[in-house]
Structure 1
Amino acid sequence: MWNRPRFDLKVRLTLRVAAISAACFAAISAYFLVTADSAAHARIDGIAAIVAKTLELQQGKVQWVASPRSDFPNLDPVSAHVMTPGLCLGFRSPSGDMLQRFCSGAPAPASPPPQAFAAFYRSLFDPGREAARPVIVRGTKLGETVVSVDPAVQTAEAWHEAGRLMIALAIALPLLCALVYAALARALRPTRMIGNGLERIAAGDLTTRLPPFDLAELSAIRDVFNHLAESLDTALAERSELTRKLIALQDEERRHLARELHDEFGQSLAAIRALAASARQTAAQDCPGLLGECDSIARTATGMMETLRGALFRLRPPDVDELGLVASLEGLVSGWNGRSRGQTRYDIRFDGAFESVPASVSANLYRIVQEALTNAAKHAGATSVSLHLTMAESEIALAIEDDGRPNEAAVKSGMGLLGMRERVAALRGRLSFETGPHGSALRVSIPLAAADRQALEHAA
């Protein structure tokens, strides 16, 4: 399954705020540039209209004077009033010839605009575009006035306006991001507490509860979390009680079956052996040819009795309450060493004092170890199996490791591991089964608080 990359929520929201803010600043800058370009063209249009009107008045004055001196067009009077740096005034005849032209110099800008901005601005706004107004006297067009601004000057002015906004953006945007990140970190601080609570719930601590939060959304999550934890705690308690009863019923059924096998099947096998011995004595006197069959019947009955003893031992283990957990497990391991005949070595080690472990917990631990050893013998083909039982301050830990290569699917699909899981769940514990190239490991952890609770429930 494809895993999508995960990002910190604060970083993601801060980046979104930064992107929106940058877009707003860009829109404002674009608005200022458009406004500045429109104002520049409106100014040169106004200047062109003033120059055209001035030239029309000049031509009218020439016609009124009796002995006129033909100096039309004369841009000197108007240029003194309207000229600005980079501005050009001109008069173009109807034929297209430029009869007169004045341009004011433009000082070199202190901070010239970058070439990228200049190219971008020229591609959008076409600085230096001319504004022309016709000069019409008595219905006759004498020419037109032409007004323009040096493109470099107009670009530098636009960069000066945009540069101030960019400086403001460069200062305000990081400050805004820092403030937004700090505010989000403070507002989302309870999410870390929620995450820790979920981890504790996943670890099996269903007593975890979340405190009230200031934010309404987080408070809603807190209410759902606490309700879920309470529901899970109740459901797990009911499941544990049901599992405990089922396990107790299973153990009672095993004891009943063991009694039935011992009383009925065991006595029948004993009777068969006695009859075989009696038949052998009779055959020795009357029919020696039947001695082999009598001995075969006796051997078969003896083998069946040995098998029955093993089955009875598994169905009805020694009384853990009387012998104690340590002695019972040592006896179990010794029995497996005897049956393996040296093919597999079983070792057990204890750390801690187990005298205070409740009888019900000891019985469950014994059953778990018994089933684990059975799985190791059936599926692992191991040459060494080690058991380590530890009593810590807060829990009882059991580790069973072997050097075999089990069929993990066969082990997990069998009833043995399921039964162990149910017993561990009834004790509010944790069970894990791992396999690797060098063997497998079964680990069980049972909290002492759950063990005490199990003892009280069993006593009740």
Structure 2
Amino acid sequence: MDLKWLLVRRIVLVAIACFVFGSAFSIYRTAIDVQRQNNQLAESVGRQLDLQLVRIQTALDIAKRFPDWDLVTTYALQPGQCVQLFDAKGAVLRSSCEGVNNAAVSAPEWFIAAYKYFLNAEASASRPLQYRGEPHGMVVASSDPVATAAQAWTTISPMLGLSAFLIATLCVVTYWVIDRALAPTKDILAGLNRLAQGDLECRLPAFHLAELNRISEVFNALSRDLSKATADRAELARKLVDAQEQERLHIARELHDDVAQQLSGINAVAACVRRKVNRNDVTAAQDASELEGMTSELIVSLRKTLAYLRPSEIDDLGLIQSLRSLVEKHNILAHGATHFSLDTSGDLADLSKEASAHVYRIVQEALTNAAKHAQAHNVEVKLNKYREKGADRIELAVDDDGCGMTTQDKSAMSGWGMIGMRERVLALSGRFAAGPNPAGGFGLHIEFSAQPGQ
């Protein structure tokens, strides 16, 4: 539903509710006034009859004249109002009523029926007659419900036309005001549609209303963030492709410069051994020994290449032991200038092979960067597994107390190593953060779910 019509409808409903409440209050006041008039009439007639009883007891009047109803008829009754005198047994002794001009009654039937149903239709009032403790009857004053309903209708009927006019005017004015106030929402909807269609350069102008202006600020900030994220993702994809090509070039170079040459040498020596064996040359054993050495070197070279592609100790020893070996190698290479340490907690044995390989490579790259650039005395690796909201999560932190980003090679933040780490964290659907620590040094913090897809 359109927002303007929704607001107009609610305002009209409130106006109608106010009118209904006001009309109900007026009708209730009319009923209260009728009840008050009947109470006053019953009390006045009762006092007159009490006075007559006193005169009879004092011999100033005779009992046959009781009740002296001529005094009652002097009271001006309202249309439809009656006053009656009942004896002690409930029989009507006297009665006086003011008639109702049915032709003058303009209240509709539904209103009269509703009035009788919801309110005291007769609004009767009674007053007992007693003298010296003896009951002498009951004075009852009542009103015809038709006359009372007509009086109530006369009170509210002038309000109906005026209220209808005011509500119609209110609808028009409210719609116009709301339409003017919500005019900027058209620009907001247009901006959202452009953003949904991929136009990340779309921006909203500033608005006068504080709420709409806040929406504009958030929308523009979101557009800028999405535009930057898209650009960063495109740049990351480009660098990842370049990094992949560099890896392939490195592996091809290693295979060509080392393995291929070794194989060529092995082939040549093997041919030489074959010829010498055919000639029974005693130097064949020396060539065979040389062939054995070349084969050993080839095996070592292949192992280095395989270790570069994937460390075998992760599958053989597990992630924790592989990280300890990696930290120990860095301690040996540092010769005491930098102390590398590893702190783990939680059961990491059930971590998947892919996740273990990513964690190992990230720690390997982080320690290499720290050793090259940090000039730190201490480098600490923390790997923690914890449970949050029913799911296992992994937290990895590599912090040093070195020189931070002031003299550390800042290009490392956008280099291949950092790109590779971001790529691995992205593959783990985790969060990546790297930068100077508040207490000094440099820190790398990663968090991801231990279960894929969570």
- The Cα shift of 1:101 comes to 0.8
Q: Which of 83, 87, 91 does residue 81 from structure 2 map onto?
A: 87
Code of the residue aligned with 1:149 in structure 2: it is: S
- The Cα shift of 1:54 comes to 0.6
Code of the residue aligned with 2:176 in structure 1: it is: A
Distance in structure 2 (CA, Å) of the matches to 1:154 and 1:248: 95
Aligned pairs for 1:41-52 (under 5 A) are 41-52=35-46
1:108 maps to 2:137: no
Code of the residue aligned with 1:222 in structure 2: it is: S
- The Cα shift of 1:24 comes to 2.5
1:119 maps to 2:113: yes
Aligned pairs for 1:39-438 (under 5 A) are 39-65=33-59, 68=62, 70-108=64-102, 110=104, 112-243=106-237
What CA deviation, in whole Å up to 9, does each residue of 1:67-102 have, x standing for no partner?
Answer: 747322122223323322111122111121111111
Give the TM-score, by structure 2 length. 0.50
What CA deviation, in whole Å up to 9, does each residue of 1:16-41 have, x standing for no partner?
Answer: 22222222222222222222212211
> Identity over the aligned pairs, expressed in percent?
35
The answer to whether the Cα contact below 8 Å between 1:113 and 1:159 also exists between their aligned partners in 2 is yes
The answer to whether the Cα contact below 8 Å between 2:55 and 2:61 also exists between their aligned partners in 1 is no
SS in structure 1 of the partner of residue 185 of structure 2? helix
- The Cα shift of 1:187 comes to 1.4
Code of the residue aligned with 2:121 in structure 1: it is: P
The answer to whether the Cα contact below 8 Å between 1:87 and 1:150 also exists between their aligned partners in 2 is yes
Q: Which of 6, 24, 30 does residue 30 from structure 1 map onto?
A: 24
Indicate how the Cα distance of structure 1 residues 56 and 76 shifts in structure 2: closer, same or farther if over 3 A, else same. Answer: same
The answer to whether the Cα contact below 8 Å between 1:62 and 1:70 also exists between their aligned partners in 2 is no
Code of the residue aligned with 1:100 in structure 2: it is: R
1:11 maps to 2:5: yes
Partner in structure 2 of residue 390 of structure 1: none
Code of the residue aligned with 1:25 in structure 2: it is: F
What CA deviation, in whole Å up to 9, does each residue of 1:394-436 have, x standing for no partner?
Answer: xxxxxxxxxxxxxxxxxxxxxxxxxxxxxxxxxxxxxxxxxxx
Structure 2: gaps (5+ residues): 250-454
- The Cα shift of 1:60 comes to 2.3
What CA deviation, in whole Å up to 9, does each residue of 1:365-419 have, x standing for no partner?
Answer: xxxxxxxxxxxxxxxxxxxxxxxxxxxxxxxxxxxxxxxxxxxxxxxxxxxxxxx
- The Cα shift of 1:249 comes to 8.2
What CA deviation, in whole Å up to 9, does each residue of 1:210-233 have, x standing for no partner?
Answer: 111111111111111111111222
SS in structure 1 of the partner of residue 200 of structure 2? coil
SS in structure 1 of the partner of residue 75 of structure 2? helix
The answer to whether the Cα contact below 8 Å between 1:109 and 1:156 also exists between their aligned partners in 2 is no
Distance in structure 2 (CA, Å) of the matches to 1:177 and 1:251: 69
RMSD: 3.1
The answer to whether the Cα contact below 8 Å between 1:92 and 1:99 also exists between their aligned partners in 2 is yes
- The Cα shift of 1:11 comes to 1.3
- The Cα shift of 1:244 comes to 5.1
Indicate how the Cα distance of structure 1 residues 204 and 130 shifts in structure 2: closer, same or farther if over 3 A, else same. Answer: closer
The answer to whether the Cα contact below 8 Å between 2:31 and 2:123 also exists between their aligned partners in 1 is no
- The Cα shift of 1:148 comes to 1.1
Distance in structure 1 (CA, Å) of the matches to 2:53 and 2:90: 19
SS in structure 2 of the partner of residue 212 of structure 1? coil
Distance in structure 2 (CA, Å) of the matches to 1:170 and 1:217: 34
Code of the residue aligned with 2:65 in structure 1: it is: D
SS in structure 1 of the partner of residue 168 of structure 2? helix
Mean alpha-carbon deviation: is it higher for 177-186 or for 118-127?
177-186
Distance in structure 1 (CA, Å) of the matches to 2:119 and 2:9: 32
Code of the residue aligned with 2:120 in structure 1: it is: D
Distance in structure 2 (CA, Å) of the matches to 1:227 and 1:67: 100
Code of the residue aligned with 2:51 in structure 1: it is: L
Distance in structure 1 (CA, Å) of the matches to 2:176 and 2:69: 63
- The Cα shift of 1:243 comes to 4.4
- The Cα shift of 1:9 comes to 1.2
SS in structure 2 of the partner of residue 220 of structure 1? helix
Indicate how the Cα distance of structure 1 residues 248 and 72 shifts in structure 2: closer, same or farther if over 3 A, else same. Answer: same
Code of the residue aligned with 1:60 in structure 2: it is: V
Mean alpha-carbon deviation: is it higher for 141-150 or for 103-112?
103-112
Indicate how the Cα distance of structure 1 residues 129 and 231 shifts in structure 2: closer, same or farther if over 3 A, else same. Answer: closer
The answer to whether the Cα contact below 8 Å between 2:52 and 2:61 also exists between their aligned partners in 1 is no
Distance in structure 2 (CA, Å) of the matches to 1:159 and 1:148: 19
The answer to whether the Cα contact below 8 Å between 1:200 and 1:208 also exists between their aligned partners in 2 is yes
Indicate how the Cα distance of structure 1 residues 194 and 82 shifts in structure 2: closer, same or farther if over 3 A, else same. Answer: same
- The Cα shift of 1:247 comes to 6.7
The answer to whether the Cα contact below 8 Å between 1:94 and 1:143 also exists between their aligned partners in 2 is yes
The answer to whether the Cα contact below 8 Å between 1:79 and 1:89 also exists between their aligned partners in 2 is no
Code of the residue aligned with 1:236 in structure 2: it is: T
- The Cα shift of 1:110 comes to 4.1
Partner in structure 1 of residue 376 of structure 2: none
Length, aligned pairs only: 253
1:20 maps to 2:14: yes
Distance in structure 1 (CA, Å) of the matches to 2:153 and 2:61: 52
